[in-house]
């Protein structure tokens, strides 16, 4: 059995911990595959890697161990069964040993608090930081005799920085590194650089910049590596992209669409910092314009409610104009557990990315658009239309591989 590395940026967070619990629970037969898109009959037709083939590792800047995080998910959030976490203690401890210190940009008041003594490296000088991170990946591969490594960013949202023309080319980016322009890089960009430079696929599950700079995409194409992002679509925004076509197809003008999110947990705390929140809201706000064909007035807000823990409640109010100008409204309330919603998608992305890589595909994996709030190079924002792109991809490969339903 070949082994595949699953390298998670933010490996000690709630999401990564849930990914680990899930992969191991399913491998041990302790839980079913519900929530995994890759287990839908239409998608499972591809010869995807099994979850038992995955070896997990990653970077993190925090020091709360994975096992501790999983226990909190069970005890405080009641999002995982306590007994399941207990049964997987050995697996979680083993994964803990494969977590390496992440880089930190050192400016943010929120992330500064996370900066444990041994848990993070300053990103200066850039070249040295890159070298260390590359060494982490190489050692991981060698130690576990991995076929490849899929790098997935599941860390907290970073503050946004403004991209410059130099970010548009690989040459420009390398010049910025050489000139030690630290303010031109966020950690997620450095991680993407490192992964692609070493020939490993990179998936950005967060709204951080990650793979957004064109110069980094150029690097991926240069090395023949697939990549994609950004920002996993799990809750309120998923509902939005599912609902918006109703109004468009029925010629009902959306006069306003306001969405109010409350959540706790680490994500909630990080997003309570306005600089971090801005990246997230920017990511959430774009979908309506492309789904409806116009941008209705309205607001997306995110507020930190510590008692909610990993649970996110969103209330959306849609005010629309019907026939003869009569105003009507629809509202929805979404109550989801963020890590539980996101974790299976991360596993799906690892499997689908590994498959694309194995098949020699490179560049943006546009067939994965339905997984993201801001799918790279895809203009289609209706969810079912995006999902059809995935089914078409599967169908194409099945035909090529001579498989049958």
The minimum distance between CB 315 and its own copies, in angstroms, equals 5
Characterize 114-147 residue by residue with b for buried, 16 or more Cβ atoms within 10 angstroms of its Cβ, and e for exposed.
Answer: beeeebbbebeebeebbeebeebbeebbeebebe
Residues belonging to the chain: 405
Prior bond to 230 cis, omega within 30?
Answer: yes
Smallest CA-to-CA distance from 310 within 349, 278, 341, 346 is with 341
| Cα atoms found within 13 Å of the Cα of residue 182, Cβ hemisphere only | 13
The minimum distance between CB 223 and its own copies, in angstroms, equals 32
Say if residue 273 is exposed, middle or buried (CB neighbours under 10 Å; 0-12, 13-18, 19+). Answer: middle
The minimum distance between CB 273 and its own copies, in angstroms, equals 15
Record the tokens describing residue 296, joined without a space.
């209705």
The minimum distance between CB 56 and its own copies, in angstroms, equals 16
Residue closer to its own copies, measured from CB, 331 or 399: 331
3-state secondary structure of 336: strand
| Cβ atoms of residues 259 and 299 within 8 Å | yes
The minimum distance between CB 354 and its own copies, in angstroms, equals 19
3-state secondary structure of 58: strand
Residue closer to its own copies, measured from CB, 240 or 357: 240
Residue closer to its own copies, measured from CB, 220 or 268: 268
Measure the CA–CA gap between 329 and 318, rounded to whole angstroms. 5
The minimum distance between CB 395 and its own copies, in angstroms, equals 15
Residue closer to its own copies, measured from CB, 222 or 294: 294
The minimum distance between CB 275 and its own copies, in angstroms, equals 19
Residue closer to its own copies, measured from CB, 162 or 251: 251
Residue closer to its own copies, measured from CB, 82 or 89: 82
Instruction: Give phi and psi for 369, each to the nearest 5.
Output: -55, -35
Q: Which residues contact 345 (CB under 8 A, 6 or more apart)?
A: 37, 205, 232, 234, 371
Residue closer to its own copies, measured from CB, 142 or 249: 249
């Amino acid at each position: 059995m070949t082994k595949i590395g699953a390298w998670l940026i933010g490996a000690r967070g709630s999401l990564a911990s849930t990914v680990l619990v899930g992969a191991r629970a399913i491998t041990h037969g302790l839980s079913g595959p519900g929530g995994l898109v890759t287990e839908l009959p239409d998608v499972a037709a591809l010869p995807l890697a099994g979850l038992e083939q995955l070896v997990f590792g990653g970077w993190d800047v925090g020091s709360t161990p994975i096992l501790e995080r999983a226990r909190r998910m069970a005890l405080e959030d009641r999002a995982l069964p306590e007994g399941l976490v207990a049964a997987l203690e050995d697996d979680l401890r083993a994964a803990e040993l494969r977590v390496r210190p992440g880089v930190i940009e050192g400016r943010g008041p929120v992330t500064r608090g996370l900066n444990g003594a041994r848990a993070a490296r300053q990103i200066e000088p850039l070249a040295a930081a890159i070298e260390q991170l590359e060494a982490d990946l190489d050692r991981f591969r060698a130690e576990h005799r991995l076929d490849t490594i899929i790098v997935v960013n599941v860390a907290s949202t970073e503050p946004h920085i403004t991209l410059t023309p130099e970010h548009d080319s690989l040459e420009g980016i390398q010049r910025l590194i050489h000139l030690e322009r630290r303010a031109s890089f966020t950690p997620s960009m450095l991680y993407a650089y490192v992964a692609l430079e070493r020939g490993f696929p990179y998936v950005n599950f967060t709204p951080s910049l990650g793979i957004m700079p064109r110069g980094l995409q150029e690097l991926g194409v240069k090395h023949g590596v697939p990549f994609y992002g950004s920002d996993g679509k799990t809750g309120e925004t998923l509902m939005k992209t599912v609902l918006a076509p109703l109004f468009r197809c029925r010629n009902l003008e959306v006069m306003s669409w306001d969405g109010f999110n409350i959540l706790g947990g680490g994500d909630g705390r990080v997003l309570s910092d306005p600089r971090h929140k801005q990246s997230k809201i920017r990511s959430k706000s774009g979908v309506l314009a492309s789904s409806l064909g116009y941008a209705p007035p309205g607001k997306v807000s995110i507020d930190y409610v510590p008692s909610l823990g990993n649970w996110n409640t969103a209330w959306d109010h849609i005010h629309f104009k019907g026939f003869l100008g009569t105003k009507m409204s629809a509202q929805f309330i979404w109550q989801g557990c963020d890590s539980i919603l996101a974790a299976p998608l991360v596993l799906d992305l690892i499997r689908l990315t590994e498959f694309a890589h194995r098949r020699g595909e490179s560049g943006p994996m546009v067939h994965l658009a339905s997984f993201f709030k801001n799918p790279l190079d895809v203009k289609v924002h209706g969810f079912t239309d995006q999902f059809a792109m995935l089914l078409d991809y599967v169908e194409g490969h099945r035909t090529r591989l001579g498989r049958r339903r």
